[in-house]
Structure 1
Amino acid sequence: MNRKQRRAQTPKAAKPKTADDIPLGRPPENGPRKARTLYEIAAERQAALMPNSMPLQNALDSGNVVNVGIGPDGEIRPIDGSTLPMQSAQSEDINPWLDTLLLSTSLSFLHFTLEALVVHQYADELRWKHVFWHTALQAFPILTLLIHFMHGHLVSARLSEQARDAVSGLRQLLYLVIANVTGCYLIYLTNDKGYMAVMKNAPSIGTVWVWAVIELGLLGALAGVAGPGAYAWYYGYGVF
């Protein structure tokens, strides 16, 4: 028996049981439809399978969400949503010391590279052991403490929201001053001082300048570079 014969034997009022019972054809443009659409059949089947279910949009409504917690006696109790602790998406999810160590380690590698380049240029012999211990025992601890303090982990942990905003603005201003001062002094140091002063101070000054520029962001970094550039142009220091 082919498909047409099965369709002819199927009563018009009977509900379709298989895909073969659903008539195929283009729906009429005008006038009422003679048969139900697949979407209507699927909606009926879905309602029959889950009669007590609610739409997902209504289920996720804030009025349908109940916050619960475990009390001292071990029982589950509802909690008011207003009493839940608010967590910021920035630094509270990250350990403060981890945030500090990631940046201080990267800057320590920069200090190691700058000192190796300076010593290789001026010294007769490049002693890697001396460069390594100078970075590990002096630069890394100092950078770690400075970054931890400047990020507010030691000072602004218990300040109010307004005080934190004020401290953040002052911190950005301080970064801008540090970037311009250290950039200008680095140009003066490498051009007008002797090789011993350059070997001793240039790696540290260069590392602090790069750190301040990074903390300023894109627009602030342009301001941190503009000051040393204007200083070099005013005093006639060549780029090459």
Structure 2
Amino acid sequence: MAAGNRKERRAAAKQNGNGNGAFRPTTEIDQAGVDMILKHPDRSGPKGKTLFDRAEERQRELDIQSGKIPASSGSTSAGEEDPIGPLGNAILYSISLTMLHITLDVIVYSQYREDIIWTEIFKRAATAMPVFLGIVHLLHVGTAKRFPTLRNVFFLVVSVVAGCYMVYSGNKHGYFYVMKSAPPIGAMWVWSVIEADLTYAASSCFAVVAYLWWNGFDAF
């Protein structure tokens, strides 16, 4: 009797298990499972702010409250960010400086009444363009922009040296030397004045004019 009851209970339990859709182990796998196993992990990085970002924001708020940094520097609007980046600026500046190099080269040829040799002009401009690109890019990266005073001092020194040398070279050297050196130095002079803040740019121009007047050179 007991054996019969046990057998009946097992049959009933088996029937109830099949009817309720209980989990049954299997070695079969469908296509969705295969795709999930072969799927590569997401390596694109975090989609939102990380704990480091939140900690940095909190630290900045504490620094503003304690007066370590001014409140105006606490946040930067999106409009103040450079839309094309350092490389884009370097490309645009290098193209402009190369065109200026060609223009100055033509002016020097015309000043000394020489026949313009376009192949030589374009060859010198093509040689100078990578130099312009590298220098401008280095001075537009984030590391350089963290030190605006040093950047302005650099532009001031370059503009004064280039301007004074242009004046000296035009008054002391022959036309062949001026023809070779004036275009690249003149382009660097103009670029450094444009890049510097107004105070530094005006100071550099004043220094060049003072050098011209003090030595009695002619403006050419």
1:1-240 equivalences under 5 Å are 83=54, 88-122=78-112, 124-135=114-125, 137-152=126-141, 156=143, 165=146, 167-239=147-219
1:239 & 1:201 partners in 2: Cα distance? 17
Unaligned runs of 5+ residues in structure 1 are 1-71, 158-163
* 1:133 Cα deviation after fit: 2.4
SS in 1 for 2:196: helix
1:204 & 1:214 partners in 2: Cα distance? 15
Alignment match, 1:17? none
1:86 & 1:199 partners in 2: Cα distance? 46
Evaluate the alpha carbon distance shift between residue 236 and residue 150 of structure 1 in structure 2; reply closer, same or farther with a 3 A threshold: same
* 1:123 Cα deviation after fit: 6.0
1:104 & 1:181 partners in 2: Cα distance? 21
* 1:205 Cα deviation after fit: 0.9
SS in 2 for 1:236: coil
Q: Which amino acid aligns with 1:152?
A: V
Contact 2:94 2:129 in 1 (8 A): yes
Moved over 4 A (4+): 77-80, 82-88
Q: Deviations over 1:126-158 (max 9, x none)?
A: 1112212221x21111100010012235xx18x
SS in 2 for 1:93: coil
Alignment size in residue pairs: 154
Greater fraction helix: 2
Q: Which amino acid aligns with 1:112?
A: I
Contact 2:152 2:197 in 1 (8 A): no
Unaligned runs of 5+ residues in structure 2 are 1-41, 58-74
Alignment match, 2:31? none
Q: How large is the Cα RMSD of the aligned pairs?
A: 2.8
Q: Which amino acid aligns with 1:222?
A: A
Q: Which amino acid aligns with 1:90?
A: E
Q: Which amino acid aligns with 1:221?
A: A
Q: Deviations over 1:160-202 (max 9, x none)?
A: xxxx54x221111111011111111110000111111100101
Evaluate the alpha carbon distance shift between residue 199 and residue 113 of structure 1 in structure 2; reply closer, same or farther with a 3 A threshold: same
* 1:122 Cα deviation after fit: 2.8
1:86 & 1:239 partners in 2: Cα distance? 45
Matched-pair identity in %: 34
* 1:103 Cα deviation after fit: 1.2
TM-score, structure 1 length as denominator?
0.57
SS in 2 for 1:110: helix
Alignment match, 1:29? none
Contact 2:162 2:188 in 1 (8 A): yes
* 1:211 Cα deviation after fit: 0.6
SS in 1 for 2:80: coil
2:178 & 2:169 partners in 1: Cα distance? 6
SS in 2 for 1:237: coil
Q: Deviations over 1:31-78 (max 9, x none)?
A: xxxxxxxxxxxxxxxxxxxxxxxxxxxxxxxxxxxxxxxxx7xxxx99
Q: Which amino acid aligns with 2:110?
A: H
